[in-house]
Amino acid sequence: MHIHILGICGTFMGGVAALATAAGHRVTGSDGNVYPPMSTQLKNLGIEIHEGFDAEQLDPVPDCIVVGNVMTRGKPVIEAMLDRRLRYMSGPAWLAEHVLRGRHVFAVAGTHGKTTTASMLAFILQDAGLAPGFLIGGVPANFEVSARFGEGEAFVVEADEYDTAFFDKRAKFVHYQPATLVLNNLEFDHADIYKDLDAILWQFHQLLRTVPRAGRVIVNAADRNLERLLGMGCWTPVETFGLDDSANWHGDFVDSAERTLRIRNPEREEQSARWSQGGLHNLENAIAAVAAARSAGVSVEAAVDALSRFEGVKRRMERTATVADIAIFDDFAHHPTAIRRTIAALRRRHPGQRIVVAIEPRSNTMKLGVHNDELCAALDGADQVWMYRPRDMDVAFDAALEPLATKLRQFNDYDRLVSDMAAKLKSGDQVVFMSNGGFGAARQTLTAVLQRTRSS
């Protein structure tokens, strides 16, 4: 079958392309921005990529067109597809029909931690010999790919609440019909799609309606919004996880440096292991992954032991360089909660050293001003903050950040930001770049400047 994917260079649709190729289909695709690393990954799979959204790409006619949620009415290829009555479906619908059907689907949902938890879970299942498939919105270091078809029954999917397509405004995750569902947390986000938290809760409620009675729902015990969600209706056995010992699954750190974690199951069996991740948020992710893995028969001992070999996820507190005793990290944090947790984790792991944040507020929710009141408090835990200020931010954004005073330095030019950072960073600094985009390659540029000027 010839499958043509519109919007192929996005993380999710690129993963769908990889899965379709692994299933033996001929895959082509198009996107408006075709650039590495995704374009390189796709071409290495033998996938032909067309740049642009013209109608001509539909000749010869594909057997099926898979439409990404970046596509809108008015684009020539979409109008031609509809006018010619060609066969099309959304990415999540294709995934559900051609990859997930008949498998034990582990879906990881929530505002924060989906990528890391899904990566941990996939690796635990792999370490247990179950050969799972997965589709994750990041690249687990243990696998070096974001998607794999898998040989076993298990399939792990990062289940996000973005809308499905221009013709299907339900959240992506309602298509997946998981047997095991992990709910990490729930906050208001994606203000460009949802008007308020209740609108997001309603989508999560639809997800809960799809989990069978014989399945399992793994829920963060400390999250009040998830408590509200369960109150709307749940027809599946629930197990809770968290840092408090009142949760069915709970854990803690054995040492103050957060190098050894300990997790206990509902039967009070526990297992400890050294690991490389750190951070209370990652501990929560780990507990959830271990709890979910039991649905596939993996014991707490085997699951926690696997975590000792878990190498993390690219762009999730990934240390990319150390120059002149200045550590540089790359992180995807772009929501105040994630920003606060990342700073706190660095503070605990590196006591007595400066925590320096470079941040690019580029999400639609941030640009709409939804997080103005929370962003300042989230950043206040850092010792110094360099911010790339997009030109389309308004005066309310600036006013919200005023309490940071001299702690904050703002620039609307990436090169000037890097130059200022390079001049002021000190030996021992822990520097984390936070963005859900490329940050104008500022992290890479800073690394090169420090290697040139500080190395000896």
| Residue 367 pLDDT level (bands cut at 50, 70, 90) | low
The whole-angstrom separation of Cα 73 and Cα 77 is: 9
Give how many domains the chain has, as a whole number.
3
Q: Are residues 129 and 74 located together in one domain of the fold?
A: no
The residue out of 64, 93, 122 marking a domain boundary is: 93
Q: What is the pLDDT of residues 234-250, one digit of tens each?
A: 999 999 999 999 999 99
Range of the domain at 74: 2-93
Q: Are residues 201 and 106 located together in one domain of the fold?
A: yes
Per-residue tokens: 315: 């762009």
More confident residue, 369 or 422: 422
The residue out of 72, 93, 114 marking a domain boundary is: 93
pLDDT given for residue 38 in this prediction: 75
The residue out of 75, 93, 111 marking a domain boundary is: 93
The whole-angstrom separation of Cα 239 and Cα 29 is: 41
Q: Is residue 222 in some structural domain?
A: yes
pLDDT given for residue 294 in this prediction: 97
Supply the CATH number for residue 30's domain: 3.40.50.720
* Predicted TM-score of the model (pTM): 0.85
| Residue 456 pLDDT level (bands cut at 50, 70, 90) | low
pLDDT given for residue 241 in this prediction: 97
Q: Are residues 69 and 122 located together in one domain of the fold?
A: no
Mean pLDDT over 323-351 rounds to 87
pLDDT(55) > 60: yes
Q: Are residues 227 and 342 located together in one domain of the fold?
A: no
Q: Are residues 336 and 290 located together in one domain of the fold?
A: no
Q: What is the pLDDT of residues 181-228, one digit of tens each?
A: 999 999 877 777 888 999 999 999 999 999 999 999 999 999 999 999
Contact 186, 225 (CB under 8 A): yes
pLDDT given for residue 5 in this prediction: 97
Q: Is residue 312 in some structural domain?
A: no
Contact 216, 237 (CB under 8 A): yes
Percent of the chain at pLDDT above 70?
Answer: 96
Q: Are residues 132 and 259 located together in one domain of the fold?
A: yes
Q: What is the pLDDT of residues 4-53, one digit of tens each?
A: 999 999 889 999 999 999 999 999 999 998 766 677 888 889 999 999 99
**What residues form DSSP beta bridges with 2?**
26
